[in-house]
Structure 1
Amino acid sequence: MADEPDEGVDVGEAEKRRESASDETAPGSESADSTSNASDGSEPPREAKTDGEGGVVDDLPEHEREEPSYPDPDDDVGGIEAPPDDQEMPLADHIEEMIMRLARVFLVGAAATAIGLLGASPAIEYIWLNIFPGPTGEVPPPHVYHPLELWLTRIKVAGLLGIMAALPMFVYECYLFMRPGLYPNERKYYLAAVPTSVVLAGMGMLFSFFLVLPVLFRYFTFYAEGSADIAYALGETFNLIITLTGFLAIVFQIPLFIMLAIMMGVTTRRWLAQKRLYFWAAFFGLSFMFTVDPTMMAPVIVAIVMILLFEGTLLLLKWTGRE
């Protein structure tokens, strides 16, 4: 049987007492929190202390403090996966591997240079007969002006052969050294770009030997003919040949540099076409800086070749629709 309210107490007054009691023990009050914490056996929350300047002082015991967590450097950052073959190696191992690979390159270059010394004299004769006027013209004989000039010229020619043989080896060893840190698409890009660079360098050297040098020495011969006896020094002549050939091997990299810049988003074909006059001026400046010639014939030829390569690459990009 339910308890009935005391007849001597007003029902409305009893309701007011219940509401006041519920307000005093409402959730969020200190008494309610302390009671609930005591009832479940947990300690009351610790108040944070300040240092008087707004900073919070951690006064927890040392065994209760949590160690700060830092990101693991081996973990992927930003959702980017590491290259599939990338492995952590000590710096000493990297240096040792690099030295061993460079040693292989130098070994190949030295072997090619040694072999080139055996055939340096026929090579000098072949180059000399092909860069001067043709069969109808008289080929001036080379002149030697100091005892070591012939031997130094042989070493230069053999050294050029050694560089040509060591260049593909250098490219291959560089690829093997960088391969673990490259993504698959970067490996394809490297394998496509570097052999292209080697081929362009070979084209530049052949262009120099079969076209630029014969025209240049015909001009020299015509320029001096009738006013002086022609006597070309062997060492100085081959210095010019090797310098011009090497510079044209670099000049023929212009199409590759333009393609790489556009593919990487560094520039656009339209921007290069708008600034072509600035590039032409830079080409003339570089050619006069690296191909010194009192007659100004060699720098002019090199500058024209650079401009033709630049404009030809832009024309090819426009034809293929690559902006």
Structure 2
Amino acid sequence: MQGLLLQQRLASASLASCSGRGATPARPAAARPLAARQRRPGGTGWGRAPTQLRAVDDDKFDSLVAPPEEGAVASSVQAWLNPPAEELPDDFEMPIWDHLDELRERVLVGALAAAAAVLTCFVFSKDLVVFLEAPVAAQGVRFLQLSPGEFFFTTLKVGGYAGILISVPTILYEIAAYVVPGLTKSERQFLAPVILGSSVLFYAGLVFSYEILTPAALNFFVNYADGAVESLWSIDQYFEFVLVLMLSTGLAFQVPVIQVMLGQLGLVTSEMMFSQWRFVVVGATIAAAVLTPSTDPFTQTLLAVPLVGLYMGGAACVRALEARRAQNA
């Protein structure tokens, strides 16, 4: 009975400390009961005995998320959780079940768009295979099917990757349309450039990988083996290399978008970004070693250098946003 009452107290205390955007969380009590495991005297089992624990950590958490007192400067987290009333949208409210219905519809639309794109790309999968073989077609490389059905499963893989990449804009639009009603007015204005910039950088990473990174890496391997062995490559392993390299490069090109988002939220500043350039160089080298499927330093360098440049460009964008914010203030 004592344990049941203790669980109910803890549940009510945690519910009282929860808050949403624009709401003021309840202040916790000076002390809360906590069930501690204590050894029964003279026994072998474990029993529960109540003890008291100061709510110092809860006070710190509540001071972080609670609205600032009048005249106090709000932190970035407080400003995000408690936006001013003029920033809140005037849209109508929806019950939770309507939100779930809308989420189901948008997930269904995104899934149907991806399925249609994958099916279309599978129909033209042989043309895509020839297109992706182009970086080494002039180097005398020949591709082999080392097992029954290897080329068939390779075309499935190529069609799946290509279809998902083509359907990315539709999926991003459905995600944005679902989250827009819960954003403030300034966040809505910031969302469109972020999605557009993310899409442009992702496809720019794919183009960079296909036009520069992949041919350079493959030509390195071909020239290194020239005169010693004949280049007869497995079709499945080749496309595993090319597709993973293209996808990882597209994801790596999202660094400026992440920087701009963090800068817009006020979590980091351009000064902090520029001051950490030494760690960025080391981190870009490690990230290039992890993202590239090959182990040669040449391919890693080709990816690490653009990553450092993208990071510096993102820091410059954050500085421009800070200067614009200072002018408007």
TM-score by length of 1: 0.69
Partner of 1:217: 218
Structure (1 or 2) with the greater strand fraction: 2
In the alignment, which residue of structure 2 is the partner of 1:228? 229
Distance 1:180 1:265 in 2: 22
Partner of 1:118: 123
Q: How far apart are the structure 1 equivalents of 2:271 and 2:177? A: 37
Please say if residues 209 and 249 of structure 2, whose CA atoms lie closer than 8 Å, have aligned partners that are also in contact: yes
Report the CA distance shift for 1:233/1:296 in structure 2 as closer, same or farther (over 3 A): farther
State how far apart, in whole Å, the 1-side matches of 2:313 and 2:283 are.
17
Pair 1:274-2:279 in alignment: no
8 Å contact kept, 2:259–2:318: no
The Cα RMSD (Å) is 2.6
Query: What do the CA deviations read for 1:8-58 (whole angstroms, capped 9, x no partner)?
Result: xxxxxxxxxxxxxxxxxxxxxxxxxxxxxxxxxxxxxxxxxxxxxxxxxxx
User: What is the CA deviation profile of residues 71-116 of structure 1, one whole-angstrom value per residue up to 9, with x for unaligned ones?
Assistant: xx9x9878736421141412x3322321221111111111111111
**SS in structure 2 opposite 1:309?**
helix
Larger radius of gyration: 1
Please tell me whether the aligned partners of residues 287 and 300 of structure 1 are also in contact (alpha carbons under 8 angstroms). Answer: yes
Match for residue 173 of structure 2?
172
1:173 is displaced (CA, Å) by 0.9
- CA drift of 1:321 comes to 8.1
- Shift in CA distance, 207/249, structure 1 to aligned 2, threshold 3 Å: same
Unaligned runs of 5+ in 1: 1-72
| Corresponding position: 1:201 with 2:202 | yes
**What is the alpha-carbon distance in structure 1 between the residues aligned to residue 101 and residue 92 of structure 2?**
17
Equivalent residues of 1:133, 1:218 under 8 A apart: no
Q: Secondary structure at the match of 2:159?
A: helix
Structure 1 residues 191 and 148: alpha-carbon distance in aligned structure 2, compared to 1, 3 A threshold: same
- Cα contact 1:133–1:214 (8 A) shared by 2: no
Once the two structures are TM-superposed, the CA of residue 168 in structure 1 deviates from its matched residue by: 0.9
Q: Partners in 2 of 1:126 and 1:229 — Cα distance?
A: 22
The reply to whether residue 289 of structure 1 matches residue 295 of structure 2 is: no
Check the 8 A contact 1:269/1:322 in 2, yes or no: no
| Long gaps (5+) in structure 2 | 1-19, 25-66, 68-83, 325-329
Q: Does 1:132 align with 2:136?
A: yes
Q: What TM-score, normalized to structure 2?
A: 0.68
Task: Tell me, yes or no, if the aligned pair for 2:140 and 2:231 is still in contact at 8 Å.
Answer: no
Which of 83, 90, 113 is the aligned partner of 1:108?
113
Q: What letter is aligned with 1:89?
A: P
Structure 1 CA distance for aligned equivalents of residues 99 and 316 of structure 2? 43
The number of equivalent residue pairs is 246
User: Are 1:157 and 2:158 matched, yes or no?
Assistant: yes
